Amino acid sequence: MSTPNVDGFFIIGWMYLPPHDPHVDDPMRFKPLFRVHLMERTSATVECMYGHKGPHSGHIQIVKKDEFSTKCNQTDHHRMSGGRQEEFRTWLREEWGRTLEDIFHEHMQELILMKFIYTSQYDNCLTYRRIYLPPSSPDDLIKPGLFKGTYGSHGLEIIMLSFHGKKAKGTKITGDPNIPAGQQTVEIDLLHPIQLPDIENQHNFNELSRIILEVQEQVRREQQQEEEEGAGCSRQSATPQAEQPAQEGDAGAEETADRAGAAAQGSEPASQPFVLPLGVVSRNKDYPRTCRMCFYGTGLIAGHGFTSPERTPGAFILFDDDRFGFIWLELKSFSLYSRIKVAFQNAEAPSREAFEEMLKNIQSLAT
């Protein structure tokens, strides 16, 4: 994730990086990627800032509206005298805050090495596309925006939380070897709240699993009913139908929407104790011990190379205005997300339609 800004006689492109895993509440890190000199009248001088040998020759090209690319003309400035091993150790220290001895877990070694190979492979030529911050509404559960989240051995990643009527979506802005950037990592069903058990029973994973799977089955039945009713309506004539009484499920949906709206407008529900079930792995042990609300949701999982992707059930936990979590039921894993509090200028979408179109575009690039 990067952003350009004008600094005197230069336009500098900055890369924004999440803090070191698992310190999700720490501020973002940033480093320069390229620099454009504004003093020349005929043509601008472009410098690549990547590597440890100082600025060197680069090139910039406008691809199309809201998209440009940079290319390094002296890639030897990216290499180190100690070869790939020194480069990997330096990258590991700077990007992960760790040493080679720290990543003793075989699975973690594989994932980190894959990420290093991928990033170093494309460090000489990068393409940048504009992203908009999500539009907000007074009815939103919390303010939408960018969040840092823990993703197991993949480390910290950046997602964008946005609201779409009855659902909220978390879209990956940075990706990993399993789920690339642009994919919808989590989806929250705001019409299906989850009532957590009392604190004594929250330690029981089977109890939480039972609750989530019951809601999943309820959602499946409702979707099936909607499809059948839709098919029935298409077969009916244009004869006016008598008004149907409200169903119990409709009342529950309206009540949930009212609760979400009340929370967004300041009438927050009382906090309740929260603890992760035994057996659920969390990178961050300092997660909040109270929460406001909990909703049914699904999370996207896949094999390396985004193979066999599928949405699996889970629970969205709202802690406060700036933090939420997601329990991945199938993975027995917990992700903690914390709001990015960087003020990005001129990042608002001109319209909701433009924002929705941007989401479609970045997802199509990922697939």
The answer to whether residue 182 sits within a structural domain is yes
pLDDT score at 42:
65
Domain end: 129, 155, 183, which one? 129
- Clarify whether residues 207 and 309 are in a common domain: yes
DSSP per residue, 60-103: EEEEETTEEEEEES-GGGG--TTHHHHHHHHHHHHHHS--TTT-
The residue with tokens 């090209």 is 61
Residue 249 pLDDT level (bands cut at 50, 70, 90): very low
Domain count, the chain: 2
- Clarify whether residues 71 and 118 are in a common domain: yes
Domain end: 100, 129, 158, which one? 129
The answer to whether residue 95 sits within a structural domain is yes
Q: Taking 90 as the threshold, does the pLDDT of residue 244 lie above it?
A: no
pLDDT score at 245:
41
The answer to whether residue 249 sits within a structural domain is no
- Clarify whether residues 173 and 278 are in a common domain: yes
- Clarify whether residues 155 and 124 are in a common domain: no
For residues 303-311, give the mean pLDDT: 93
98-114 pLDDT tens trace: 887 777 665 677 788 88
The Cβ of residue 246 has, within 10 Å, a number of other Cβ atoms equal to: 9
Contact 60, 69 (CB under 8 A): yes
Domain extent, residue 64, equals 6-129
The answer to whether residue 275 sits within a structural domain is yes
pLDDT score at 208:
95
- Clarify whether residues 305 and 211 are in a common domain: yes
pLDDT score at 246:
43
- Clarify whether residues 86 and 152 are in a common domain: no
- Clarify whether residues 200 and 320 are in a common domain: yes
Amino acid residing at 141: L
The answer to whether residue 225 sits within a structural domain is no
For residues 69-89, give the mean pLDDT: 88
Amino acid residing at 162: S
- Clarify whether residues 21 and 57 are in a common domain: yes
- Clarify whether residues 62 and 167 are in a common domain: no
DSSP per residue, 221-256: HHHHHHHHHHHHHHHS-SPPPPPPPPPHHHHHHHHH
- Clarify whether residues 176 and 101 are in a common domain: no
The answer to whether residue 102 sits within a structural domain is yes
Separation between Cα atoms, residue 349 and residue 21, nearest integer Å: 30
Nearest to 321 by CA among 304, 338, 345, 346: 338
The residue with tokens 């993975």 is 331
Q: What percent of the chain has pLDDT above 70?
A: 86
- Clarify whether residues 162 and 60 are in a common domain: no
Q: Taking 80 as the threshold, does the pLDDT of residue 288 lie above it?
A: yes
- Among 38-42, 179-183, 199-203, 258-262, the minimum mean pLDDT is found in 258-262
The answer to whether residue 78 sits within a structural domain is yes
How far the first Cα of the chain sits from its last, in Å, is: 19
Q: Taking 50 as the threshold, does the pLDDT of residue 255 lie above it?
A: no
The answer to whether residue 172 sits within a structural domain is yes
**What are the backbone dihedrals phi and psi of residue 345, each rounded to the nearest 5 degrees, phi first?**
-90, 145
- Clarify whether residues 120 and 51 are in a common domain: yes
For residues 135-146, give the mean pLDDT: 95
pLDDT score at 283:
87
54-75 pLDDT tens trace: 999 999 998 888 899 999 999 8
Write out the two tokens for 17: 């990086």
Residue 40 pLDDT level (bands cut at 50, 70, 90): low
Contact 362, 185 (CB under 8 A): no
